[in-house]
Amino acid sequence: MLASVTAPPDDEVRVVLERSGSALVVSAGGSVDASNVAVWRRLVGEAAAVTAVPGPLIVDASGLEFMAVCAFGVLIEESARCRRRGIELCLVSGQPIVGRVVKAVGLDGELSFCATIDDALGGTPRV
């Protein structure tokens, strides 16, 4: 484990950062909604800032109990910033609904999605 970053208890979101080669894996827990999206933005942004080229930055949302649409928006914004730096941001979740949301709302053109961290590390995005 590289670091554990926890927001105050009221914010209900936490992340643990781990390096795997040049990849940085962000394992998220809790929930993300409008009440704590600023904290989510800060945590994802800080993780992106310490991700080295070529990355990738992998955001594992498997531990999130709830992920509002604003949480996806943060990932889209950060993904664009990462691409400008030559880093791919990949959302990971074993929950099929997350992949369906990514595809249904057309986010698959903006955000890579994989069902597992191993898939993300292997470079095979799946939607």
pLDDT confidence bin for 118, thresholds 50/70/90 = very high
The answer to the question of residue 11 being in a domain is yes
CATH of the domain at 85: 3.30.750.24
Burial of 23 per CB tally in 10 Å (0-12, 13-18, 19+): buried
Three-class SS of residue 123?
coil
pLDDT confidence bin for 122, thresholds 50/70/90 = confident
The answer to the question of residue 106 being in a domain is yes
pLDDT in tens, 48-78: 999 999 999 999 999 999 999 999 999 999 9
User: Distances from the Cα of 20 to the Cαs of 2, 17, 27, 112, in angstroms?
Assistant: 10, 10, 13, 18
- What integer pLDDT is reported at residue 127 of this predicted model? 45
Q: Is the pLDDT of residue 114 over 50?
A: yes
- What are the helix (H) ranges across 3-125? 37-49, 69-84, 96-104, 117-122
- What integer pLDDT is reported at residue 67 of this predicted model? 94
- What integer pLDDT is reported at residue 76 of this predicted model? 96
Structural domain span for residue 7 = 3-122
Average pLDDT over residues 25-45: 97
The answer to the question of residue 34 being in a domain is yes
If one counts the domains in the chain, the total is 1
The pair of structure tokens assigned to 75 is: 């990932």
